[in-house]
Amino acid sequence: MAEPQSCEVTINTLVHGGRGLGFLDGKAVFVPLTAPGDRVRCRPLTVKKRHVEAELVELVESSTLRRIPPCPLFGDCGGCQWQHLPYTAQTGWKERIFAGLLARNGLSGEVLPIVAAGEEFHYRNRVQFKCRLTAAGFVIGFYRTGSHFVVDVDRCLLLRPELQAVLTLLRARMPAAPCPDGVPQIDLSCGDDRSVQLVVHLLPFAVEPMTPWLLELARQQQWTLSLQCGRKDSLRRLHGTADQLLDLHPSGLQLRIGPGGFTQINAAQNLALIDTVCRSAGLTGVERVLDLFCGAGNFSLPLAQRAARLDGVESYAPAIADARANAAANRIDNVAFHAGDALECLDRLLQKNVFDLVVLDPPRTGCYPLMRRLLAARPARIIYVSCDPATLTRDLLPLVHGGYALVASRPFDLFPQTWHIESVTLLQRQ
């Protein structure tokens, strides 16, 4: 196929990554921001032997599936990809895409219905805003898809009200800061107690002039403020003592997560994840459990309530300090938390222990290097919590080929208006 200025394509389906898929002259054509049934004019950006990556130029004929996107920035801001789809269509396609990825990779097992979010908007309790000082003034928002251009965002429909209030205030106050050009990013989070935490990233030249200004602002607004200049180990708390608080009801547990620690961005759906993990674990009180990538204890502590003993492993040392503090605060004493690389800690722990259950909750890149070691350890059950179906299927294949059965996998929608899919998968040793 030649590389025309533009071409017309009918979109047949949606694929992992959120793009629409059509065909032209025998080639697959991927077009973002489209819906099945759309007839679109698109412009090829990358032409390969068997597929074309294109951008939407014109909606020639609209699918009956479409709705008017609620946000006026949709299509320019890269924060959302599916606002043009009704929420029931979003969850239906996520379920279909997830099941299709497992099937195409030869992973047979029960795929349970997706757990939809109770709210499709105003669910985010954590967000990273990109910042720039431009000729038009200080800009705060999200990157445009595929670029480092910051789209100015005055209102984000995904944010919890507490974070939207902070965004509004920052937009009003940051232009008067001593050197706003030294602020590339601001991270916001809020807990179930509605307290707000900020991590402001500063370039080296901005640390001295910006610190007292930010400190005064945090005092006025009663924010917990931390600063970061460079790598994550440079993060330091400047004001306030509030950590992000998570109520893990109905377990009665509470978690506190300090600056820089990972939490799921959707608190309500996080509870659904925990419930599914605990039910899948099937613990009776006599098992030994290993929780890799444990963070501050999100799965560890609920599982420890049902187990004889639990070990948690996390590479980010401050998160391990939080996990230990959370265990003590919740009076859970059958746990041990270890700071270090997952593979190194796994090798060390397996020298002295036999685990009945291993829980994996890795970052988006997955944890493929651990698979061979897990196969050698052969725990009775493995539960894999994933935020990327592509790396999930890659990591599951060695386990399935090495003697594990995929019992059940369930997708979750933690990120309405985007293509992202969370999941919980249970594997049983045969």
Active site residues: 387
Residue type, 386: S
Q: Regarding beta strands 253-257 and 309-314, do their DSSP bridges make them parallel or antiparallel, or are they unpaired?
A: unpaired
Amino acid (one-letter) located at 315 = S
Paired residues of 411 in beta bridges: 423
Query: Which of helix, strand or coil describes residue 249?
Result: coil
Closest CA to 361 of 316, 306, 328, 401: 316
Calpha distance 307→295 (Å, rounded): 19
**Which residues contact residue 388 at a Cβ distance below 8 angstroms, ignoring those fewer than 6 apart?**
364, 365, 366, 421
Phi, psi angles (nearest 5°) of residue 185: -160, 145
In degrees and rounded to multiples of 5, residue 286 shows phi and psi of -115, 0
- Phi/psi at 322 (5° precision): -65, -40
**DSSP string for residues in 29-58:** EEETT--TT-EEEEEEEEE-SSEEEEEEEE
Burial of 12 (0-12, 13-18, 19+ CB in 10 A): middle
| Token representation of residue 372 | 């061979």
Position 403: which residue type?
Answer: G
Instruction: Say how far apart CA 90 and CA 415 lie, in whole Å.
Output: 10
The whole-angstrom separation of Cα 292 and Cα 343 is 9
